[in-house]
Amino acid sequence: MNAPGTTPLIRLAGVTKRYGAGTAAFQALRGVDLDVDAGEFVAVMGPSGSGKSTAMNILGCLDVPTTGHYLFRGVPVESLDRDQRARLRRKYLGFVFQGFNLLARTSALENVELPLLYRGEPASSRHAAARRALAEVGLQGWEHHTPAELSGGQQQRVAIARAIVTEPTVLLADEPTGNLDTRRSHETMELLDRLNREQGITVLMVTHEPDMAGYARRQVHFVDGTVADDGRRHRVLSR
């Protein structure tokens, strides 16, 4: 936890999100306040429709608040234009999804290289970084296999390698174990835990599974578009 008076890595202050207008309007977020310090591992939980996915989209610069403020390293993200938000996303954020989102006819190495390709990095540096990332997730020797030749757990490891190849500050994981069996789910969570502890990557993970949330050091619960419990009070009491 940051020292008093220091700026958190991430801050949501009075964030609301409204979709539509008039009688068809839907209020997804209703004044969310949330601070996340660098190096935390946070599980974001809540029932369907509670606002957790909307909050994650805002944190990932995929959406903007209707009102309120999102500050990343003290910078108000909602004041950035679309290109600036895209640069912030490419430079500081990595994403892991439930569905893996791998290109089916493309090798593991080429899938992992994609974020660096978008950055315009030369082939030699892309190849080297992708090989390092695959080795980091335990897939050295699997570089030239396509997703169809990999198990579900291995595919998720490729997806995690793709997320960390840019050396992000924050890893945003949306139900990363949703398509995996119990054994592969725990292997994936152990990997995320290691990346958090050893590399200092801040992890924010949406999950509905309490046993997966147990890997996090803090659990934030959303209910009806608000943060019902941000996990800080219980963390302090447990010390």
Domain limits, the chain: 10-237
Over the chain, what is the mean pLDDT? Answer: 92
pLDDT of residue 23: 84
Length of the chain: 239
- Beta carbons of 164 and 2 less than 8 angstroms apart: no
Q: What is the pLDDT of residues 25-84, one digit of tens each?
A: 999 999 999 999 999 999 999 999 999 999 999 999 999 999 999 999 999 998 999 999
Contact 64, 28 (CB under 8 A): no
pLDDT value of position 238: 45
Residue 5 predicted with pLDDT over 70: no
State the architecture of 10-237 in CATH terms: 3-Layer(aba) Sandwich (3.40)
Sign of the four-CA dihedral 216, 9, 56, 87 = negative
What's the pLDDT score for residue 237?
42
